[in-house]
Amino acid sequence: YSLAPVDGLLDGDQARNFFMQSKLPLRDLSRIWSLADFDEDGCLSLPEFLIAMHLIQARRKDASMELPETTPDGLLPRQLKPDDIPPIPEVDMKAYTAAFQKLDTASTGLLSGTVAKAILKRSCLPVTKLAQVWSLADIDLDGQLSNEEFALSMHLMRFLRKGFMLPNSIDGHAI
What pLDDT was estimated at residue 150?
97
- Sorted by sequence, the CB contacts under 8 Å of residue 170 that are 6+ apart come out as 82, 85, 136, 152, 156
Interior/surface letters 141-169, b for 16+ CB within 10 angstroms, e for the rest: eeebbbbbbbbbbbbbbebbeeebbbbee
Interior/surface letters 89-106, b for 16+ CB within 10 angstroms, e for the rest: eeeebeebeeebeebbee
Per-residue pLDDT of the chain (175 residues; tens, 9 = 90+): 468 777 677 888 888 989 999 999 999 999 999 999 987 888 888 888 999 999 999 999 998 999 999 988 888 888 888 888 889 999 999 999 999 999 999 999 999 999 999 999 888 788 888 999 999 999 999 999 999 999 999 999 998 888 788 998 887 666 7
pTM metric for this prediction: 0.73
Residue type, 48: E
Euclidean distance between CA atoms 135 and 160, whole angstroms:
14
What pLDDT was estimated at residue 173?
64
What pLDDT was estimated at residue 47?
86
